[in-house]
Amino acid sequence: MPPIGLELTDRQKLACAFRILGTSGFSENIAGHITLRAGDTHDLLVNPWGLWWEEIKASDICKVSPDAEVLDGKWDVTPAIHIHTELHRRRPDVRVVVHNHPYHSTVLAALGVLPEFLHQTGSMFDGDLAFVDEYTGEIANADLGADLADRIGDKSVVLLANHGVIVTGPTVEETTYRAATIDRQCRLMYDVLVTGRDHTLVTPGLRRSMKASLLERGTDFFWNGAVRALLRDHPEVVQ
């Protein structure tokens, strides 16, 4: 696999994830946040409140405690940080949590529809999709974050009614790849629904092997290429 050409720190990886998703249509201007568990601790790295995803650099990244206290950084963090702290608290398997309001995911969230397995790439979400069917307002405290985390359970890609999407994963690389893919699958679902015609699905028996292939072989392919392109055009991201 062609390398990136640079060994990235956690903060640099996170900054790259913001830029990659921010320029792919995943982010809604001022909205959204990504957290990464910092090393072997329970502290979280997160974007500062007030910067757009498209402008974040590694030096902008903040660190918060499991209780959302800012430990390090030049600015404050999002009031919705409790979406992340409570998910991380309940899910030791989750190292990364991505949340934003990508357009087509939000369309399906308003319709109460999950994307179906219309295309082989959608197989990477086999067994991982869920829908939270009630909008309860802004998640601005730990109790509301805990309620949402409980409703999400063990699923890793969740549409939130009248809100957006949450994607969780074990690494920045895999979670960014899955986040970059989910809105395309939602757009495909919407376009198929608009035709009003019958449609076919990838059969359940083929999804498991395709999912493994996409995540095991596709993650580095996606991440390395996206980061190489980013560093070519915006080398300041790692500063």
In tens, the pLDDT along 1-47 reads: 899 999 999 999 999 999 999 999 999 999 999 999 999 999 999 99
The sheet carrying 33-37 orders its strands as 70-72, 62-64, 44-46, 33-37, 96-100, 164-169, 157-160, 129-132
CA-based nearest residue to 227, from 173, 190, 162, 169: 173
CB 189 within 8 A of CB 113: yes
CA distances from 106 to 131, 161, 218, 236 (A): 12, 8, 25, 31
Tens digits of residue pLDDT in 65-120 = 999 999 999 999 998 999 999 999 999 999 999 999 999 999 999 999 999 999 99
In this model, does residue 230 exceed pLDDT 90? yes
Fold of 10-224: L-fuculose-1-phosphate Aldolase (3.40.225)
CA 10, CA 86: separation in Å to the nearest integer? 21
Residue 57 near residue 132 (C-beta atoms within 8 A): no
pLDDT at 78: 93
Q: Angle 74-79-84 (CA atoms, 0-180°, nearest 5)?
A: 95
- What pLDDT is attached to residue 232? 97
